[in-house]
Amino acid sequence: MKNGGLKNVIVILAAALTACGGGGSGSGGGTVTVPQTPPTSPPTSSTCSLSSRQDFAFSVLNEWYLFPETLPGSLATASYTSVQSYIDALTANARAQGRDRNFTYVTSIREENAYYASGSTAGLGVRLVYQGNRVFVVEAFEGAPALAAGIDRGTEILAIGTDAANLTPVADIITAQGTSGITSALGPSTVGTSRVLRITDAGGARNVTVAKADYNITPLSPRYGVRVIDNGGQRVGYINMRTFISTADNQLRTAFADFRAQGITHFVIDFRYNGGGLVSTAELMGDLMAGNRFSSDIFTVTRFRPSKSSNNETRRFAPSTQSVSPIKIAFIATGATASASELVMNSFVPYLGVNAALIGSNSFGKPIGQIALDQSACDDRIRVVAFAKENAAGQGDYYSGLAGTMRATCAAADDISRPLGDPLEASLRTALDFVAGRSCTPVVVAQSAQSTSTRTERRVLPVPVDARAAQRDVPGLF
């Protein structure tokens, strides 16, 4: 989860700050310094030398990192060939403890601003998962090249090549290189990068040529993002929330206003691949499901490290004229469900109890969030883990996933043989059973999202080393 504009903390550093940090990030004051538009590529001045950029990263973590006791007192930069490898070394202790699992990183200001404002990214426009030595598409995005080429949920990618003459079987790639080999075979996200894919689906096996392009991810799909489902005479409101970005806000307001107008009180919120995003959008979603909450009810509590405790905040529900009043909510989750999506789920536990359920499998486990600190002249944004989130009952230590926190859980498969939003799809069918009061088999808490993968378990492909901003919050995106 990302805070893009905390009320009591400067989260963006001005371009005038030097790479070695110093003052400027502040401990309060209630202002946000908006960065200047970064250059197309970082200048080669001393300000943007590798060592200076690494020094900037060190200063940011030294001031804001949520787990300061895990940081080294000093760490020479000379042994590290990138800003990210240096950050990885600084956060190695917290990562070994399972508290910062690659959540602190450097990214492009330009790319991240474009993604959170409009969903802008580049690539094929699919989410990929692997199962053993096989790769499947679990979602395809509208307006992107893959869907236009007939690639959609349930498609299996059999082979990858730069042309039909050098197609290499996916099984051979994974056997030789692991899943990182798939990332390499698909090539960079650069617009125009073309690949020939051997695929198979209900239409049979065939070769397709797909060129990567710019496109915008729509947070709620126009195909299945919002539905009213007849569940044996009971109307259920269904939301499939892909990611928490600002363009989701009006989509959510419209959807919940319609649910409210229809008097719907039972809901399925499908977060199965939602890797998180903006806290502000998560707060809005909470408000839109808070028609039966008081304005004094706590949605979430934000806690910083002791030296930054002046920035701690209690966020209360703020119901609006579009808000619904849930009696039951089924949240569909998988190991790819993280951060802002977990925040929303956790926030309803104290109020709905056993009437709020996790459906599917255990979530990822990220009860912490990042703030952004920029070195604008270099187009560097350091996303540093700086705060933890708790619900009204003080529950927030769910690093092993939410299955142990939610009062009710129902195990279900992610059935990629059926479209998302299909009432017969296994996870959605189980969610509908829950809101109708039918029994289910609980999720085994010990089977956390952090457990070792089995050969039969489908898991999203890892985030590439040179990940674009969107790939951080959209698990399996290529």
pLDDT band at 454 (very low <50, low <70, confident <90, very high): very low
Q: Are strands 298-304 and 313-316 parallel, antiparallel or unpaired?
A: antiparallel
Mind spelling out the 3-state secondary structure of the chain? CEECCCCCCCCCCCCCCCCCCCCCCCCCCCCCCCCCCCCCCCCCCHHHCHHHHHHHHHHHHHHHCCCHHHCCCCCCCCCCCCHHHHHHHHCHHHHHCCCCCCCCEEEEHHHHHHHHHHCEEEECCEEEEEECCEEEEEEECCCCHHHHCCCCCCCEEEEEECCHHHCEEHHHHHHHHCCHHHHHHHCCCCCCCEEEEEEEECCEEEEEEEECEEEECCCCCCCCCEEEEEECCEEEEEEECCCECCCHHHHHHHHHHHHHHCCCCEEEEECCCCCCEEHHHHHHHHHHCCCCCCCCCEEEEEEECHHHHHHCEEEECCCCCCCCCCCEEEEEECCCCCCHHHHHHHHHHHHHHHHEEEEECCCCCCCEEEEEEEEHHHCEEEEEEEEEEECCCCCCCCCCCHHHCCCEEEECCCCCCCCCCCCCCHHHHHHHHHHCCCCCCCCCCCCCCCCCCCCCCCEECCCCCCCCHHHHHCCCEC
- The closest alpha carbon to 65, from 387, 373, 396, 365, belongs to 387
| Residue 394, pLDDT score | 97
pLDDT in tens, 65-77: 999 999 999 999 9
Summary mean pLDDT of the chain: 90
pLDDT band at 1 (very low <50, low <70, confident <90, very high): confident
Tokens of 327: 């009696």
Per-residue pLDDT averaged across 237-245, rounded? Answer: 98
φ/ψ of 330, rounded to 5, equals -105, 120
pLDDT in tens, 108-165: 999 999 999 999 999 999 999 999 999 999 999 999 999 999 999 999 999 999 999 9
pLDDT band at 232 (very low <50, low <70, confident <90, very high): very high
| Residue 466, pLDDT score | 81
pLDDT at 435 over 80: yes
- The closest alpha carbon to 347, from 405, 410, 292, belongs to 405
pLDDT at 327 over 70: yes
Per-residue pLDDT averaged across 270-298, rounded? Answer: 97
Tokens of 338: 């993280």
φ/ψ of 51, rounded to 5, equals -65, -35
Specify the higher pLDDT residue, 6 or 251: 251
Half-sphere exposure of 182 (CA within 13 A, CB side): 28
pLDDT at 452 over 60: no
Residues 20 and 247: their CA atoms lie apart, in Å, by: 35
- Cα distances (Å, whole numbers) of residue 343 to 271, 277, 337, 397, 402: 11, 11, 10, 12, 10
Under 8 Å between Cβ of 427 and 475: no
CA 449 to chain CA centroid, nearest Å:
14
Partners of residue 397 on adjacent β-strands: none
pLDDT in tens, 4-61: 644 433 333 322 222 223 222 232 322 223 333 444 444 556 789 999 999 999 999 9
Per-residue pLDDT averaged across 174-202, rounded? Answer: 96
The structure tokens 């996790």 sit at 358
pLDDT at 460 over 90: yes
Residues 291 and 293: their CA atoms lie apart, in Å, by: 6
| Residue 447, pLDDT score | 59
| Residue 465, pLDDT score | 81
CA 292 to chain CA centroid, nearest Å:
28
pLDDT in tens, 382-429: 999 999 999 999 999 999 999 999 999 999 999 999 999 999 999 999
| Residue 314, pLDDT score | 98
pLDDT in tens, 338-394: 999 999 999 999 999 999 999 999 999 999 999 999 999 999 999 999 999 999 999
| Residue 21, pLDDT score | 30
The domains located in the chain, with CATH, are: 2-118 (no CATH), 122-216 (2.30.42.10), 226-368+388-449 (3.90.226.10)
| Residue 13, pLDDT score | 33
Tokens of 341: 């999506």
Per-residue pLDDT averaged across 246-263, rounded? Answer: 98
- How large a percentage of the chain has pLDDT more than 70? 89
pLDDT at 217 over 70: yes
Residues 219 and 247: their CA atoms lie apart, in Å, by: 7
